[in-house]
Amino acid sequence: MPPNELCNAYDAAASNSNACKPIHKPPEPETCTEQQLTKELHIAPMLNYSTREFRQLLRILSKRAVVWTEMVVDDTIRHCKPSNLDEFLGYDAEQHPIICQIGGNSPAACGDATGVVLDTYGYDEVNLNIDCPSERVSGKREFGAVLMTKARLAVEIVKEMQLRSKSEEADAADVNSPSSRVSIKCRIGVDDLDDLEFAAGFIRTLHPVCRRFYLHARKCVLKGLMNARQNRSVPPLN
């Protein structure tokens, strides 16, 4: 398979006008080059670290970095009492641009969660976790990285998320065009499905419903490891 296959899939995703549109407009000091102004720095979600307080510290350190929440499970958002939701979704106004990452495998539940995240809390973007390899997430709950092996289900989930993102989408002239406020974070492979064709095929399948992809640039192993932490070293990076 030609080595540029994956790049071609990325280029296809970027062909839409919303594809690589920055989720915020950074300041424009005269000393910045055009390339610097359009480049985004994201602080990826980290369990037990990407708290409200940690994000506030990051914002003090950088006004332009895009900060992320920890993954919030769709059912938590869907069933939590409104008075308690701030514990999971609350943030300070200075933290924009900010992305909320959700996890789940139910189109309806992820759609409802998207509505709350974007409409009620005003996040700049909502991201679907197709990245987490833990047994509790990808095993028992069957979401996270395992959804890379269930691309059709992932499509249905993102479709519902897109529908719920439209209510406040100011620049959605075409209601059939995927919103840039909905994105996916995934791996480059799962278990033995780790070649370029698999990764490119996954992106091609999701491309009609999603224009923003964030890649954790290593595969994950869902079967045969003692714990999810081993995915940080197995397989070893070249």
What is the rounded end-to-end Cα distance, in angstroms, of the chain? 20
d(CA 159, CA 65) in angstroms, rounded, equals 28
Q: Which helix (H) or strand (E) holds 59?
A: helix 52-61
Catalytic residue check, 132: yes
Q: Which of 7, 20, 32, 132 is catalytic?
A: 132
Give 3-state DSSP helix, strand, coil % of the chain, rounded to 5.
40, 15, 45
Q: Can you say how many angstroms the Cα of residue 215 is from the centroid of all Cα atoms in its chain?
A: 9
Other C-beta atoms lying within 10 Å of the C-beta of residue 151: 16
113: number of CA atoms within 13 Å, CB side? Answer: 31
For residue 202, what are its two tokens?
Answer: 């996954």
Residues marked active site are found at 132
